[in-house]
Structure 1
Amino acid sequence: MTRQEATHTHRVPLNRDRVLRAAVALADATGIEALSMRRLAQELDVVPMALYKHVANKEELLDGMVDTVVGEIDPPTAGPDWQRVVRERILSARRALLRHPWAARVIESRTGPTPAVLSYLDSMAASFRDGGLSADLTHHVMHAMGSRLLGFSQELFNTSGSSGPPGPELAARYPRIAELAATAAHDGGSMVSGGCDDQFEFEFALDLLLDGFENLRRRGWTSARKA
């Protein structure tokens, strides 16, 4: 057997799952900006055209990568406490995105939800409904949660640049902002997609929302306009 034949014999067959997992690993290692079909083909030791048998183009590759990451989210646990069930699932989603820092930006760039995202959102809606929230309230809850359902949030400003309190001139002009900056403590290593979005801030807002939703459920809230 020639050396070329031996290499061919031991080569792992290419399939869609292998392509997507390799793409996720490459994006983790080099950043999403460095990902290309050619670079991915090099990683897999195939010609670029071989990839197109499994993903039609770069956009389909990105969709599949999103689905791969979402597939890492833990399934919902059983139990009567819907807030605990939802909270645990969302924090599992957050852990998945922290493992893949590029994923939040790619999710936001999609023109529509991918199949795995749709399945995840459907199961989250089921958790709210199983917890006693009406379909009407669940509809508005899903809107209110937005990207938090997937473990990340958009911040008002991008604070991923310089950190620390503002200088004396800015502090004098904006004293309340300076006051808040002086009291804030953020863990830059826990950010998802940049910005002031550390774990404490995320869980703080998540718990406020979940408590508010439960309060509305108990009140029998409806969006129907009162006459």
Structure 2
Amino acid sequence: MTKKQMVEDAPSQLTRTAVIAAALHVLDERGLDSLSTRAVADRLGVRMNTVLWHVKTKARMLELMADAVLGGIRYDSLPDTPLERARELAARYRRALLAHRDGAALVTGTYPAEPHTLRFADHLVDALLKAGADEQRAAWTAWTVTYFALGLTQEEQAAPEESDERLTRAVAPSTYPALQRVLPHLRQDFEQRFTFGLQAILSRIPT
């Protein structure tokens, strides 16, 4: 019996962790549009049913992948000041998304109540509570930070290199005078956009 046949005949020899790791490799190599349970099975050298034995459905695989992406967030050396800690946590969240091709698009639309996702949320909410937010504001601000980071990072990962040039050509002064005035500030600088937007969100926390 070949090694491949042994794995296929005994799915328990292949761990779910290994399946998700392989799925992330496929994501990084091919992008989200080309990700499938069959592609993951091909990478592992097993039948698709073996992958499904561990993840059940593609939707569940995406949830587990999204949680694994957040597993890349570290919680050491965080600032002592609660609001600065919340800001740093948001920055680390964004970096975790950027660490994988289409990372933000993967996480968007998934709702995994899984350890890494819950750990990040707990740290962020704790920082907001300690910064002076009440329970509702802390919860809703955490959602707002998450949605903002996901949306901006998804745009960043999908933006074509020539988007600035296309925008410049499209914004004619006679047709879009207001946009023409602010055109230099509309160019791709996602790091500064993130910093500005995050500050705008967190500035509403009472101190």
TM range (shorter): 0.7 to 0.9
Go from structure 1 to structure 2 and tell me whether the alpha carbon gap of 1:139 and 1:60 turns closer, same or farther (over 3 Å shift): closer
SS in 2 for 1:53: helix
Alignment partner for residue 193 of structure 2, among 180, 197, 201?
A: 201
| Identity level (%) | 22
Partner of 2:96: 96
One-letter amino acid of the counterpart of residue 118, structure 1 = L
- State how far apart, in whole Å, the 2-side matches of 1:126 and 1:178 are: 42
Tell me how far 1:16 sits from its aligned partner: 0.4
Determine the C-alpha separation between the residues in 2 that align with 1:174 and 1:137: 37
Report the CA distance between 1:206 and its aligned residue. 1.0
Say which one has the larger Rg. 1
Letter in 1 for 2:175: R
- Quick one: structure 1 residues 172 and 117, their matched pair in 2 at CA, closer, same or farther if it must change by over 3 Å? same
Q: Matches of 2:71 and 2:122 in 1, distance apart?
A: 14
Do the aligned partners of 1:76 and 1:85 also contact (CA within 8 Å) in 2? no
Work out whether residues 76 and 89 of structure 1, in 8 Å CA contact, stay in contact via their aligned partners in 2: no
Q: CA deviation at 1:147?
A: 1.6
> Does residue 47 of structure 1 match 2:76?
no
**Does the 8 Å CA contact 2:90/2:145 hold for their aligned counterparts?**
no
**Is there any run of 5+ residues in structure 1 with no aligned partner, and where?**
188-197, 219-227
* Unaligned ranges ≥5, structure 2: 8-12
In the alignment, is residue 28 of structure 1 matched against residue 20 of structure 2? no
Q: CA deviation at 1:25?
A: 1.1
The TM-score, its normalising length taken from structure 1, stands at 0.73
- RMSD over aligned CA atoms reads 3.0
The correspondence for 2:202, drawn from 210, 217, 223, is 210
Q: Which has the higher helix share?
A: 2
Q: What amino acid is aligned across from residue 54 of structure 1 in structure 2?
A: H
Local SS of the residue matching 1:43: helix
1:114 aligns with 2:106: no
Query: 2:26 and 2:97 mapped to 1: Cα distance?
Result: 15
Q: Which residue of 2 aligns with 1:191?
A: none
Q: Is the 2:28–2:101 contact (alpha carbons within 8 Å) kept by the matching residues of 1? A: yes
TM-score, scaled relative to structure 2: 0.80
Please state how far the C-alpha of 1:15 moved relative to its aligned partner. 0.4
